Structures are given as structure tokens and as C-alpha cells.
Amino acid sequence: MLKMSLAAAALVLTVSTPAFAEMSEADLARKIASGNIVGDEITKKECGACHMVYGPINMIGASWKILMNDLSNHFGEDASLDEPTRKHIEDYMLSKSMDASGSMYGKMTAKKLKKKKKLPIRLSEMPGWAGDHKPSKIGPEIWAKVNNNKSDCRGCHLPGLGG
């Protein structure tokens, strides 16, 4: 069943997004399995209706949980969902979150963030993002491409691929 789902996702992404055409099916399957790319159709449909669908590996589970439990105030918008859909998406995001993988980086990041009074719910507030996007690495001409909008990853990255 999983192989069929991965193959179907690969076909949809390859056909609908030129950037994915250059990725092998094995690489795509690996990125879906790791949480870099969202492979769940319900999550892609509901989240993608309003914004880029961010890979769950980009945040720790506790942050996704906070985000998913306040959808009526989703960055100033009402993104409320029926409870079965909300729970499905939350479960998917938690299962592929940064700390769900068991990686040392994920565990250390989760431990460090949980010590703070307020967990981040924006990707741009996550330590890895901040390090990768600091001014010494990203020049003003790059930020100008996305009108200084930190949430517009598509300005520089292939959708859902990271890097």
C-alpha cells in the first residue's frame, strides 16, 4: 500500500510540477518518507489550498501540535477544519516532525526549544532556519526576490524540497 501511495505521489508531483521531473522516483520517495515533502493527500489539499505545503520535518512535534490546535487563529486567518480532518493532518505532521525521526539533531532541537517559555510556530523561528537564512548567507538581493517575506520559500526553493 505504501509503495503504491509513494508511486502515485511521485506521478502526481512529476506531472504537475516541472521541478520534480528532475528528481528520481527513489529520491522523491525518500523525501516523502523523511518528511521533507508532504506525501499525504489530505494534508496537501487542505494546507495547500491557502499556502505552500511545508514539510513536517521543518518543525518539532510540539510546535505542530500548537499550530494545529489553534487553526481558528492561523496567523490572523480562520483555517478551521472539521475535527476528523484536523486530527488526520495533525497526526501526519507529528509522525514526520523533526523530533519524530529519532535523529540526534531533532531530539536536541526539541529539548532546547521545550525549555523556552513559548514554542515557535513559524518555520522562520526554528533554529535551523535562522542559521541557514542569516544575513551573512542570504544577501538583500535574494530577500528582494520574495519581497522580504520569510514565508515565501518558493521564491528560492523548489516547492517542498528544501535546500
- Same domain for 82 and 142: yes
Top-confidence residue, 89 or 19 = 89
Per-residue confidence band for 22, with pLDDT thresholds at 50, 70 and 90: low
In a domain, 58, yes or no: yes
CB contact at 8 A, 73 and 22: no
* pLDDT for res 11: 36
* pLDDT for res 159: 53
Top-confidence residue, 43 or 140 = 43
* pLDDT for res 12: 39
* pLDDT for res 162: 46
Q: How far apart (Å, rounded) are the C-alpha atoms in residues 40 and 12? A: 12
Q: Is the entire prediction scored with pTM above 0.85?
A: no
Q: What angle do CA 14, 102, 24 make, to 5 degrees?
A: 20
Which residue segment(s) compose the domain that 107 sits in? 35-155
In a domain, 162, yes or no: no
Residues 112-124 have a mean pLDDT of 87
Total number of domains constituting the chain:
2
In a domain, 57, yes or no: yes
Q: How far apart (Å, rounded) are the C-alpha atoms in residues 155 and 136? A: 19
Q: How far apart (Å, rounded) are the C-alpha atoms in residues 99 and 105? A: 8
In a domain, 161, yes or no: no
- Same domain for 86 and 71: yes
- Same domain for 131 and 75: yes
Residue 96: pLDDT over 90: yes
Top-confidence residue, 161 or 149 = 149
Residues 30-44 have a mean pLDDT of 88
- Same domain for 96 and 30: no
In a domain, 74, yes or no: yes
